[in-house]
Chain A
Amino acid sequence: MAQDTGGVKDAGRWITAAKPDYTALIDEKQIVTQRYGMVNVPTAVWIDERGRIVRPNEVAFIDDRFKSFTKMESAPYIEAIRDWVQNGSKSAFVLSESELKARLKPQSDSRARADVEFALGEYLYKSAKGADAIPHFKEAQRLDPDNWNYKRQAWALADADRDYGTNFRKEVEKLNGRPYYDSH
């Protein structure tokens, strides 16, 4: 699910290069980010044959190319996926209902408002009102400050330094060693 306001123009060449044998979709409005309350990429959700969530949002690397930055190993996660494919609901990595309910939280009011500010920004951007979109993207970022999707997408649509007074590298430096990915 490409979380890309630019749609095929931005995501298309990556999908073409990957030659996927799985279904690769393009999500221009970041609907998946919004409905599942995601804050970063890559994020994965495990969904069983009945359409029920069995592992909610978590970081999902399929190789170690970003390991120096993320400090995360991909191998245990890939093994967990294989275990689920093989053992289904008996897999130790499938969470129980009580574990799931402990992890899944109702959307906060500020996240709800951030989603709608971001969506309005996206609408204005697509209506050739890119400059008018910026205040709404900024408000979305202020309301949901840990949401990297809403930061990085907005910066990518503008001149981040000029329009937002920052950029991805500067914001990562500000973390000062705190993890870029929430690793529950």
Chain B
Amino acid sequence: MCKHFLVLMIVLTSGGFAAGQRTRTIVYDGIATEVSVSAAAANDLWITTSDLMRATRFAIKPQGICRDELCFPLPKNRKAEFLARKDATNWFNLTEFARLIKQPYVVDQKNAVWYFGSPAAEQNRYLASLEAPNFTLPDLNGKLHSLSDFRGKKVLLVTWASW
């Protein structure tokens, strides 16, 4: 029991809090994930490639940075701005990637939170298709409803607020 506790302590101390590393919160697609960052990261957010997968579901593939069917090729002559190998770890520059895909982000230094919004292409997609952007939200009882559930009916979408 005591031995297990000691092992756990060592794991906790080395995971994320080792010398030269700090933790940050990334909010991506509205979901918050704690990650370790490279100490060298000042203005940019360099995270490990495994944290990239965990926080954003993006993976590094030969054809680029990919999630589901969507892939963003990295500019050939600028790969070092996105990928680095240091301390036997692969690092990825998430803020440089955000700039590449025109994804707005903002940081709160005090709370070490990096918030990533919708890439411009995703946000503006409906302008060409005229398809109403989908969303899934709860009713008063917590039951989820999606706009797409209403296909086949006319929808009058009305916003209001208590304030």
Contacts and interface: CB of A to CB of B under 8 A. Distances in A.
A112 B151 contact: no
Contacts of B139: 23-26
Contacts of B123: 35, 107, 112
Contact of A116 (B116, B126, B147): B116
A152 to B, nearest CB: 5
Interface centre among A49, A81, A100 (most CB of B within 10 A): A49
B97 interface: no
Interface stretch (B61-69, B79-87, B128-136): B128-136
B106 interface: yes
Nearest to A119: B115
B140 A81 contact: no
Secondary structure of the B contact surface, majority rule: mixed
A24 B153 contact: no
Contacts of A85: 154
B30 interface: yes
Contacts of A25: 137-139, 145
Interface centre among B32, B124, B150, B160 (most CB of A within 10 A): B160
Nearest to A149: B161
Contacts of A12: 140
A1 B158 contact: yes
A132 interface: yes
Contacts of A49: 151-154
A35 B133 contact: yes
Given A24-B140, A116-B106, A45 B27 contact: no
B140 A120 contact: no
Contacts of B116: 116
Interface of A: 1-4, 6, 8, 10-12, 14-16, 23-27, 29, 31-36, 38, 41-53, 60, 81, 84-85, 88, 97, 100-101, 104-107, 109, 112-113, 115-117, 119-120, 123-124, 127, 129, 132, 136, 139, 149, 152-153, 155-156
Given A107-B123, A116-B115, A156-B162, 5 more contacts: A23-B139, A25-B138, A46-B156, A123-B27, A127-B111
